[in-house]
Amino acid sequence: MSSRGGKLSSSSSELDLDGPNIEDYLPSGSSINEPRGKLRLRDLLDISPTLTEAAGAIVDDSFTRCFKSNPPEPWNWNVYLFPLWCFGVAVRYLILFPARVVVLTIGWIIFLSSFIPVHFLLKGHDKLRKKMERVLVELMCSFFVASWTGVVKYHGPRPSIRPKQVFVANHTSMIDFIILEQMTAFAVIMQKHPGWVGLLQSTILESVGCIWFNRSEAKDREIVAKKLRDHVQGVDNNPLLIFPEGTCINNQYSVMFKKGAFELGCTVCPIAIKYNKIFVDAFWNSRKQSFTMHLLQLMTSWAVVCDVWYLEPQNLRPGETPIEFAEFI
């Protein structure tokens, strides 16, 4: 015991020479006995600037920043700019918005007057019916984009119908699907929505092979996985589009892709969508805003500006797991 105590005392003295003295950081005996008031957060943060920087980094690195909409900086702050801002509001709400409503109404009239006869009268001609329905859905999406004065630039080769391929894209709003659909009639996997959006899903969009799921149903996961595998094997099926982030992100960040789209054993074709916030923020926060109000926000803006990149197809490498494949994309 004495020899062990000697070793301990010698080792502790050696540590004292190499490291800081812990007693220098302890309060004096008189200060220990002094009564303390209520401890506050700012008192802790005042202990060290390093703690303040660390706390700021934790807040800044929070996962929730991916789902926050950053409001634009106000520019109508003086007597010279405020009249121009008022003039712009009048133009957007009294001229552009009614004109866009007319455009969207005309689009719906043309679409429904053509889609309904094609859907019911060409029941025995499935190939021709699917081709006509695909063209009409693309046309209706073009009317939607026109109702926002959409300025969309597409980069790269246009997607084609091929078996064993799936397209994956980042997700900012439900209008991502509309912008991509006006160029190519994708079959998208999407959550089932209520209201008029759900009505469109169960009638019109099912004609292009879209697949719906409900997050509250545990059995939906296995059913949807089987539908996805069957769809990508079809030669005449529309290209499959998946938003592997699983929710809308504010277009400033990207979260980890879910592996479901990368374990289908087929070629993955990435698509990148980037919105320009010069006129409007296209991010849709479904917890704070309905999709109808989101569309009204877009239709009362000056324009929706975005770029779409069709990137180089990727395949699973030998020995690579679907999770690693998703991280690579």
User: Environment class of residue 218 by beta-carbon count within 10 Å: exposed (0-12), middle (13-18) or buried (19+)?
Assistant: exposed
Do the bridges between strand 304-310 and strand 267-276 make them parallel or antiparallel, or are there none, so unpaired? antiparallel
Tell me the per-residue pLDDT of 93-129, one tens digit each, with 9 for 90 and over.
999 999 999 999 999 999 999 999 998 888 878 888 8
Collect all residues with Cβ–Cβ distance below 8 Å to 126 and sequence separation of at least 6: none
* Helices 195-202 and 291-299, packing angle to 10 deg: 100
Nearest to 129 by CA among 139, 114, 143: 114
Tell me the per-residue pLDDT of 205-225, one tens digit each, with 9 for 90 and over.
888 888 887 766 666 777 888
Instruction: Give the pair of three-digit tokens for residue 49.
Output: 């600037």
Helices and strands in the chain: count of H runs, count of E runs: 12, 7
pLDDT of residue 194: 76
pLDDT of residue 74: 76
Q: Which parts of the chain sit beneath pLDDT 70?
A: 1-63, 215-219, 329
Nearest to 114 by CA among 201, 192, 207: 207
pLDDT of residue 97: 96
pLDDT of residue 119: 85
